[in-house]
Structure 1
Amino acid sequence: MISDYSMDFKEFKFFAIVGSDDMFSKREFFKWVENDPIDEILCLLVIIGGLIIAFSRQKVEDEFINKLRMDSLLWAILINYAILILAIIFVFDMAFFDVLIFNMFTTIVFYILRFHFLYRKYLTNEE
């Protein structure tokens, strides 16, 4: 999205619960649409990879690690919604749509960063 790079793959027909020909046409339900699947594949890979990283068990999984997980999740949700609130106030038109797309991934990214930061800090203090 940043560099407008596209990987011109072949478009395939997919069954869509909700679809339209373009962003401004009327939505239609339960129809076949032609779509380049690379966007969906990349989104699924990012989400599945993030979930695997975020919820992999640590060597020692005790109450303190569970507290770190909960604190990190709370922190990630608060930061994510603070960014979304700022975007609602200051970002408009299609740029806001881009913010919403990135917003799908930021909660898990913030969680992973915060949890691993606190976990590494805990490990260095324990040694």
Structure 2
Amino acid sequence: MHTNYLLPNKYKVFGWILFVSGIVSGVLTYLIPLETEPLKVKVLSLFDNFSGGPNEMEYFKIIENGIAFELILLAIIFGGLIIGFSKEKVEDEFTYKLRNDSLVWAIIFNYLVLAALVIFIYKYTFMHVLVFNMFTPLLFFIVRFNFLKLKNRSHEE
């Protein structure tokens, strides 16, 4: 099975390291908020001073900002993408079907969960839901794909 969009299998370990370290760091940062930002650097901000209203907004401005949270988010995103889209050791038609079925299932399941949360969670708390929702399609896909692979291996033995 020739799939152009998949990375070589050797990247999967690096993806797991990024993904797990990002998840652990994210959970710790969420549960134990930092009083000061550990990594402050100057960055390009596309939109700044949004809380001041649209008339006071500044565009394309260099600001000093903490980037620890952004690095955690990027680790989760890129780690999840590398895990989800790296070839398996044996990449055949069945693996391709499992991958596609898992991806479709993850998207449908993600939006069903999101729809339920839209109904039951309101105001600023919903912003937390949206932050977590950046990762849930990848997380659901990775969990479902690996579950189906494990289930298939147990049936073969």
Provide the aligned C-alpha RMSD in A: 1.6
**1:53 maps to 2:83:** yes
Shift of residue 40 of structure 1?
0.4
**1:24 maps to 2:51:** yes
Whose helix fraction is larger, Structure 1's or Structure 2's? Answer: 2
The structure 2 residue matched to 1:69, chosen from 99, 103, 122, is 99
Q: Number of aligned pairs?
A: 125
The structure 2 residue matched to 1:12, chosen from 26, 41, 56, is 41
Amino acid at match of 2:80: G
Q: Distance in 1 between matches of 2:58 and 2:123?
A: 23
TM-score, normalised to structure 2's length? 0.73
Q: After superposition, what is the alpha-carbon deviation per residue over 1:18-58, rounded to whole angstroms, capped at 9, x for unaligned?
A: 222xx622343211222110010000011111111111211
Question: In the alignment, which residue of structure 1 is the partner of 2:111?
Answer: 81
Q: Distance in 1 between matches of 2:111 and 2:93?
A: 27
Secondary structure (helix, strand or coil) at the match of 1:6 reads coil
Structure 1 residues 98-117: aligned runs within 5 Å: 98-117=128-147
Shift of residue 73 of structure 1?
0.5
Question: In the alignment, which residue of structure 2 is the partner of 1:33?
Answer: 63
Q: Do the aligned partners of residues 59 and 77 (structure 1) sit closer, same or farther apart at CA in structure 2, a change above 3 Å counting?
A: same
Gaps of 5+ in 1: none
Q: Do the aligned partners of residues 10 and 54 (structure 1) sit closer, same or farther apart at CA in structure 2, a change above 3 Å counting?
A: closer
Amino acid at match of 1:36: G
TM-score, normalised to structure 1's length? 0.89
Gaps of 5+ in 2: 1-28
Q: Which aligned segments of 4 or more residues in structure 1 are displaced greater than 4 angstroms?
A: none
Q: Distance in 1 between matches of 2:156 and 2:35?
A: 47
Amino acid at match of 1:126: E
